[in-house]
Amino acid sequence: MNREEFCKIITDIRKRSSIKMKDICFQMGVMPTAVYRLEKGSSNFEMGNMMSYIKALHHTLVIRNEQHSYHTNDAQELGCILALIRKEKKISQRVLAEKTGYVYSTIVKIESKKTVISIDTLLKIVDVLGYDIKIENNEHSGISLKL
């Protein structure tokens, strides 16, 4: 799964919903052009606006495997979830950094909420940890994003 595929699935959810673009923009506090750039996925954006977008669609981001699932609409919470998963897998921050190709300080900053994770970094870390991402509506039926 790459950023463009992720954004296409999110866009498809919006198009199939009955939620109007103006309502999404109002909830996010942005203009429609910002939403269209997000949907296009042409740049590596931070997850803050994407999480607001998912929430405006009445959906939740789920990071899951066969044993566990973590639900959130909070970009800052993503770091905590990834730290829990990393610890569950008994992988150190340094080993995770090596496996993802990121520097150690990037992992530390994400887990300690000192930075908001980008979409590319999230997708890479989730993949390395052996988890999937699912976008689930608030009634718990959703569309799976297989990584």
Q: In this structure, are residues 55 and 93 in contact, taking their beta carbons and an 8 Å threshold?
A: no
pLDDT at 142: 45
74-128 per-position pLDDT tens digit? 998 999 999 999 999 999 999 999 999 999 999 999 999 998 899 999 999 999 9
Q: How many CA atoms lie within 13 A of 1 on its CB side?
A: 24
Rg (CA), the chain: 15
pLDDT in tens, 32-69: 999 999 999 989 999 999 999 999 999 999 999 999 99
- pLDDT confidence of 138, banded at 50, 70, 90? confident
Across the beta sheet with 59-64, what order do the strands follow?
69-72, 59-64, 132-137, 142-145
**pLDDT for residue 140 is more than 80:** no
The CATH homologous superfamily to which domain 3-145 belongs is: lambda repressor-like DNA-binding domains (1.10.260.40)
The domain ranges of the chain are: 3-145
